[in-house]
Structure 1
Amino acid sequence: MVANVNPTVRRRRLGSELRKLREQKGMTAEEVAARLLVSQSKISRLENGRRSISQRDVRDLCGVYGVEDVRIVDSLMQMAKESRQQGWWHAFGDIPYSVYIGLETEAASLRVFEPQVVPGLLQTRGYAAAMIAGNLPEATPEQVEKRVNVRVRRQDRITDEDAPLRMWAVIDEAALCRKVGDAQVMREQLAHLVELSHLPHVTVQVLPFEAGAHPGLSGQFAVLEFTDATDATVVYLEGVNSDLYLEKDTDVQAYSVMYEHLRAQALSAEQTRLFIEEAALRYAP
């Protein structure tokens, strides 16, 4: 087994390479699907990294595209093998947002806007437990605990000494006003938020109510960027039953512009710390 292999990222890279081969051949996804007697949606999902790719899939696609260079085929086959390995998150069982976790684990930077709650990577265990339990009222204590453990494990990216995640968080004032858990949980969470904001690779900005209407009124979103130039920037939109991942240049550009407007309307990093400390006073014993 190859060490430090991220199956989510491997699928994306492999899918991108297969898409390039199809385009070089001048074929549409529908034409490829017809040749292989599979659905067009399967080809699309293979190319966008949303479906596991087997070595047989790679072999069949290389045959359709007329790839004769053995080195190219072997390289793609190896990527397919690695893409079927399990990431650390699989040890926790079925996690509905495992694709996102895979992307977050590999990302070099993350820009996130949260209109309702503190971003997951910046949450304390107590806050995370209270939020997850409130968001999933029918979940068992064991299910809540599993999700909390996954969230805490994800936070290793923030404290990674070798390659910490560069994070920029714009948080609506509503997240500071919404009492998640009891007063002590909120005090600890807000103090933790201020503490993390002092890290050189973490920037936190609060968007106050007085800022009025802003581009983030449509909801939460995150923009993930990667070191490897072959990995396209991804915009992540969290849904109730399914999530949305946008990679088109026009979509990424639109959300990047939105984020710049949010940053401009939000308080500065220093103003934010003072604002959070003042907000914490409402939860004083």
Structure 2
Amino acid sequence: MEQSVWSFPDSEANEMAGSTLPLRAMGRLLRGHRMHAGKSQLAAGLHIEISPQTLGRMEDGQKIKISTVQIGSLLDFYAIGEPSPERSEILGLWDEVKQEIRVAKRSGSSAGWWRAYSDQYAYHFDQYLALEATACGITVFQLALIPGLLQHPDYRRAMIRIADPELSAVDIERRLELAARRQSMLTERADTVGMKCLLSEAVLGHRPGGREVMAAQCRFLAELTTRPNIALRIVPSDADGHLGLVVQSFTLLEFPPLSSRNLTEPPVVYVEGYEGALYLEHSSVIERHRRAIANIEQVALSESDTKQLFSRFAEEFGT
């Protein structure tokens, strides 16, 4: 996936990076208006003097260099005149984006905090981190590894060394800091963010870092099962055939409605590979992954049995 460089002409906008819910909603609506008007991305981009690729990133909810005047000109091009409810909705969402930026700047909040670690992750992961930061529901299915949000620091350190054995000690620590800050979301936003994790039993058989690391990881997972906003379930190796064997590992991100508008952003399925990642939003794709989740849950252990399994593995690895 193409790397996204997100910026705004306003000086205040440079303080914020990543995708916001109002921006995603605005991009989705603009795409709908463009298609209804029968305009191509090339024509629309030329009209406001940006590339079709840049326009596409905006429609995907990513930040680009664009002004309020250009957005108004784009609406004119789509025959969304003024006054009209459609135009007011788009410009209202744009105002919300800028307001979020101003609030973040005044409060010194950590909007886009992950960009400080941008040299420590693959370019395609920037968009994921932005989506993760605004999600209210995260459902993960993993066949091979413990998901990043649930990794013990020793497990994470071992994975970093496997992926990049020449990495300096300083960069390893920075990657561990990034992982810790991501994990803190599950504690700091426990009342607004829920995570459901379905893990193949095979993830407990892979031992990056050796037995002691896996013992610590299993103890950590057992502790996580006590948190009310985290649900962990193991899919046993002897489970009957299930859709997880076909769909492979993925993450489903869901988002809260915009507080000031009757709009709900569509979920996103994230599929990561060795060379890049896919961000899937089509309703049929989301529905297929929901069916896969329901099917996998039918063969997964209960949460209490999963906790007992973690404890058993921790004891076995520790001996």
Same fold (TM over 0.5): yes
Inter-CA distance 161–111: structure 2 relative to 1 (3 Å threshold):
closer
Inter-CA distance 5–17: structure 2 relative to 1 (3 Å threshold):
farther
Aligned residue in 1 for 2:117: 92
One of 226, 230, 241 as aligned partner of 1:202:
230
Aligned residue in 1 for 2:249: 220
| Structure 1: unaligned runs, 5 residues or longer | none
**Counterpart Cα distance in 2 of 1:156 and 1:141:** 23
Contact 1:170 1:204 in 2 (8 A): yes
Aligned residue in 1 for 2:74: 61
Aligned residue in 2 for 1:127: 155
One of 117, 121, 137 as aligned partner of 2:145:
117
Inter-CA distance 183–133: structure 2 relative to 1 (3 Å threshold):
same
- 1:116 is paired with a residue of what secondary structure? coil
Corresponding letter in the other structure for 1:216: G
1:242-285 Cα shifts (integer Å, max 9, x gaps): 21100000000011111111111111111111222222233123
Inter-CA distance 54–61: structure 2 relative to 1 (3 Å threshold):
same
**Counterpart Cα distance in 2 of 1:264 and 1:115:** 16
**Counterpart Cα distance in 2 of 1:73 and 1:11:** 10
Q: Does 1:148 align with 2:176?
A: yes
The correspondence of residues 1-40 of structure 1 with structure 2, limited to 5 A, is 7-9=18-20, 10-33=22-45, 35-36=47-48, 39-40=51-52
1:33-81 Cα shifts (integer Å, max 9, x gaps): 4545654433322211245252264244223224434855653543564
RMSD of Structure 2 on Structure 1 (CA): 2.8
Corresponding letter in the other structure for 2:92: S
Q: Does 1:278 align with 2:312?
A: yes
**Counterpart Cα distance in 1 of 2:221 and 2:175:** 20
Q: Does 1:169 align with 2:186?
A: no
1:166-194 Cα shifts (integer Å, max 9, x gaps): 11100111111111223322212111101
**How many angstroms does 1:224 deviate by?**
0.6
Equivalenced residue count is: 284
Aligned residue in 2 for 1:179: 207
Inter-CA distance 113–280: structure 2 relative to 1 (3 Å threshold):
same
Give the alignment's TM-score, normalised by structure 1: 0.87
- 2:312 is paired with a residue of what secondary structure? helix
More deviation, 254-263/271-280: 271-280
More deviation, 70-79/11-20: 70-79
Give the alignment's TM-score, normalised by structure 2: 0.79
**Counterpart Cα distance in 1 of 2:141 and 2:30:** 33
| Structure 2: unaligned runs, 5 residues or longer | 1-11, 105-110, 258-262
Aligned residue in 1 for 2:290: 256
